[in-house]
């Protein structure tokens, strides 16, 4: 329900778009942007198993697109909380979008911070792990972890394939410095360090309503941000349209199903909120720009309901008419 409500509010080429929401007798369904290229975790580890990870230009391109998506969410007062490579999806043309907003939280107008333990072990920011109040800064820590994994093909707080308990990962995030291999250029290391800063006031991110500070970092010197925003900056990798980018077909349809639960009337009322459909923001904008919205919403004097929308007039039977043909 949270994901549906938030997706209905956002409109960015860097976040999956919600086209429609409906329910069947057994399932809640979200109709969203098709992303045939698979998730970035698969591309890091499974496309070229002998050489996992991305080269720096590719990691830079994806990170730039993620920043644009995060900025849009944060300008809408939404904290994402679950950024990681498997939640970043690739489309047919090689561009990425943020997906899976089920853990996102929306700040009220008078609210600057929130509390709550949410996210994925190994990605959660120190302030969240300590139970402190936090703001959008947690998303830039997860961005640092994600960028590190793009390049190193492992997380910054554990080696690939290492079996380690969550409490040990938490301890490393809170206390251990991050080490960098020769895969990281000076600029890549610099941006990761700025994003993975354990102290919030030292972490780069969303400042004064924008991500301008991040965009100005030398790591992104090759990015033309205006072209990126317009969707005309050529991507470094274009997926093969005939390839399924998943380990097996079951991964494509990983939907959750709960059986043996009887819904009461209050539950049904709750789920009825989900099945409200959704008028996508591009469609809303088109209706306004073409004047259709104005034509369909003509009100009476002082904002009163016009005659053609009065309930009484809708219930009135039309007068019978006769027709003579000569």
Catalytic residues: 82
- Could you tell me the two tokens for 84? 């990681």
Helix axes of 137-152 and 186-195: crossing angle, nearest 10 degrees: 150
Contact 175/230 with Cβ under 8 angstroms? no
Among candidates 98, 82, 1, 81, which has minimal Cα distance to 40?
Answer: 98
Contact 39/85 with Cβ under 8 angstroms? yes
Distances, alpha carbon 65 to alpha carbons 68, 143, 186, in Å: 5, 11, 21
User: For residues 234 and 65, what is the distance between their CA atoms, to the nearest angstrom?
Assistant: 12
User: For residues 275 and 22, what is the distance between their CA atoms, to the nearest angstrom?
Assistant: 4
User: For residues 54 and 63, what is the distance between their CA atoms, to the nearest angstrom?
Assistant: 11
Residue 29, phi then psi, degrees to nearest 5: -125, 130
User: For residues 300 and 167, what is the distance between their CA atoms, to the nearest angstrom?
Assistant: 64
Contact 300/307 with Cβ under 8 angstroms? yes
Contact 71/212 with Cβ under 8 angstroms? no
If phi > 0 it is left, if psi is from -120 to 50 it is alpha, else beta; for residue 68 that is: alpha
């Amino acid at each position: 329900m949270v994901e549906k409500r938030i997706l209905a509010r956002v409109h960015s080429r860097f976040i999956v778009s919600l086209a429609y929401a409906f329910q069947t007798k057994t399932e809640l369904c979200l109709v969203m942007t098709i992303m045939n290229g698979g998730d970035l975790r698969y591309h890091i580890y499974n496309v070229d198993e002998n050489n996992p990870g991305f080269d720096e230009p590719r990691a830079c391109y994806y990170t730039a697109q993620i920043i644009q998506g995060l900025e849009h969410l944060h300008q809408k007062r939404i904290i994402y909380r679950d950024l990681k490579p498997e939640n970043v999806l690739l489309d047919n043309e090689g561009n990425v979008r943020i997906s899976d907003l089920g853990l996102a939280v929306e700040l009220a107008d008078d609210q600057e911070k929130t509390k709550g333990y949410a996210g994925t072990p190994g990605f959660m920011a120190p302030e969240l792990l300590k139970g402190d109040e936090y703001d959008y800064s947690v998303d830039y820590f997860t961005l640092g972890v994600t960028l590190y994994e793009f390049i190193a093909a492992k997380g910054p707080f554990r080696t690939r394939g290492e079996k380690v308990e969550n409490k040990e990962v938490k301890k490393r995030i809170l206390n251990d410095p991050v080490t960098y291999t020769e895969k990281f250029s000076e600029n890549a290391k610099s941006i990761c360090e700025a994003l993975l800063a354990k102290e919030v006031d030292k972490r780069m991110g969303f400042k004064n309503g924008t991500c301008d500070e991040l965009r100005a970092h030398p790591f992104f010197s090759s990015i033309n941000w205006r072209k990126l925003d317009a969707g005309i900056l050529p991507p470094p990798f274009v997926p093969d349209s005939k390839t399924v980018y998943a380990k097996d077909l079951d991964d494509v349809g990983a939907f959750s199903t709960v059986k043996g639960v009887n819904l009461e009337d209050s539950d049904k009322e709750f789920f009825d909120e989900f099945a409200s459909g959704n008028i996508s923001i591009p469609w809303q904008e088109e209706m306004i720009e073409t004047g259709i919205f104005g034509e369909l919403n003509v009100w009476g004097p002082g904002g009163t309901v016009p005659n053609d929308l009065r309930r009484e007039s809708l219930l009135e039977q039309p007068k019978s008419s006769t027709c003579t043909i000569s």
